[in-house]
A and B are shown apart, each in its own frame.
Chain A
Amino acid sequence: MRKGQILAVLGIAVVAGGIATAVAVVPTWLPVQASREAGRIDFTIWFTIVISIVIFAVVAAVMIYSIYRFRAPQADDWSEGPPVHGSTGLEIVWTVIPLLIVTSIAIVSAIVLSRNGSAGNNPLQVDVTAVQYSWSFTYPDAHGLTSSVLRLPKDRSVVLTISTKDVIHSFWVPEFGQKQDAVPGLHTHVHITPDRLGSYPVICVELCGLGHSVMRSTAIVMTPAAFDKWIKQQTAAITSPSASASGAAVFTNNGCGACHTLVAAKATGKIGPDLDKLKAYAQQAGQPLDQFISESITDPNKYIQPGYPKSVMPGTFGASLSKAQLDALVQYLIDSAKG
């Protein structure tokens, strides 16, 4: 390789690298960082992107230079090029340098993995249950309080223990970075330290059946004071003697708000029918209201409200709710439905 050639290739590499850098920097590639782990993950991502840009630029430059400089003089001139069979020196260089590069990636990654996995002393424990097709979050330290929305205090280390009742699901909040599968028969764990207030989507990221793309919830990061207040309010509702109030707890505990709208419960789900319209639905179906509601919970496929999909609402509530819970829930819905 002559000096002129090296300079030309370097020049093209700089341009190619510049274009690649622009592609890496101009669009928004990553969600906002809402946890410390996401911060470390994003660092690793940028570390590997920089390396990738350099390698891509070198390869692109050699290719582009070759295409322009070494074109055969004429299409029908099949004369042969120089009989260069190899160069041991060059082969050593392009074996050792990539080896060093991948080693650096491994070291950075191992450190990040270790830091992201250490929950520290006294993490907040939340149990995540995945079913086809909703999430529910239980706080074992708060009398088993269960919510369909994941509420977390800012700047506290959290350990999620994830399980499922049917097939494999996967828990992910893009802004938190961390992800973990829910596997039947196992309790898996993931560690998150949220450090930004806000509301972020909880997504299922392992194909789990027909409702996979709608199996979503929300993660809300609150100030520690707001979080403690919420815990106290919810615990009071669970232990309340009023059927309607405990029915409200059953509603929240079982993730109904993930798919249904009910103003009284501040639920805004759009996947299933709007529960504020239950009276109208029952009339449409020609059934008495309490029987209609009860059957819709225990045997959802028996009557599908026109315009809504079949086989998305879990059919397991008939088994998983006790009679008392079912009655309380039905009462709560009768009392709360607005229309």
Chain B
Amino acid sequence: MTPETILAVALVLPIAGALGIALAGKVPNLREGVTLSTAVLLFACVVQLLDPVMLGGRPELVLLEPLPGLPIAFRVEPLGLLFALVASGLWIVNSVYSIGYMRGNGEGHQTRFYVCFALSLASAIAIAFAANLLTLFLFYEVLTLITYPLVTHSGTDQARRGGRTYLAVLMGTSVLLLLPAVLFVWFVAGTTDFQSGGILPADMDRGAVMILLALFLFGTAKAALMPFHRWLPAAMVAPTPVSALLHAVAVVKAGVFTVVKVVVYVFGLDTLAGATDWLIGIAGFTIVAASVVALNADNLKRRLAYSTVSQLSYVVLAAALLAPLSLIGAALHIAAHALGKITLFFAAGAIYTAAHKTQVSQLDGIGQRMPWTMTAFAIGALSMIGLPPAVGFVSKWYIVSGAVAEAQWFALTVILLSTLLNAGYFLPIIYRAFLRPLSVEAAAHPHGEAPLPMVAALTVTAAGTLALFFFPDVPLALARQMTALP
């Protein structure tokens, strides 16, 4: 198959999968079989694209032209490929986990759940491979809408409120800020195609560049830059597999991916030089402030959500530094945080399923009963803090190197401070789990590990977190290609 065909297949596959899932809705085993095989095939497709892209190929596909000069088109480039690899690879693991979670907790509407999940992945892949801003914007909105039923899955009042916040923040910012930004680019540059070096005229007014950048950054609320981060904790009412893959990987990464993509391929590093100081400030503030909130959150998923808000701003900060090294760090961190955070969410879901616990303060001694889960949790936490031997260390290393190279001492301070804060909210959990004795109440309700599919899934992602530390070659090579470094 030519790379173009593979690209087309990768785009269509999850949609076809969703259709298959809907048709097989009456037979749960067959339905889950369709999900799993779609995920595996999708990942295989995306992997097939790796070689051609590494060799410098950029497979393209133009679908339709709804607006004159603005086609819906796809083009595979290194950063998008990295995002697609992460999303599709983790979808396999997450599907295994979902099966355990959804059955273990006896959740309803499972067919709708899997259909929406497959369609979310379809839009994530389309975002990853979008060739221009219009296509990216189109699927960015589709992703918001198709994840809404997943967020409100339980149908409770709390879910409805969470769904409202989710939709209001994500749609509100994208319509009011991102759409004008896209229009602005089209109005000024006459194109919205992503090109290395950017498409905006080099002599664009400094003030206009800053305004446009602000529109993009705040318009992409999926990147959860403060003050538009509220949707992410609100989305935690969703079942944990949704939080794990979508609100730690696909949706939020679509946000920071858009940010990096816009910085590199729409503005270009030269155009932005000197215009990003305020962004470093806001990203730094988000990193620290979200960490402080996480420090005080007793609900485990809420703590993880705020940790995500903080970690996402690492990527934004790294992009705002405009140093090639930190951009490599940004791209790597998309992958690194994905693996680490999905492990943490998997663990949280496993604890909920096996022990029905949701609060950090309830976790005393749980490591004795769920050793696999809590070991995986510890590895994920190491990656969040940025300690070896977890992959979070590698990406942080590049970001710090970039900050040092650009002599950005504020950014450096923020990163160091947040490392301490990360340790401050993750280490106590590990301490509680392994070193505190079981509480009396917990001792009265014996339980073991969560169902096997869930434990298997979180073991795989924890192993991946370690493996990428030792073998970061593929993501690193893709990140280097993006910044055009040798």
* A, B: real partners: no
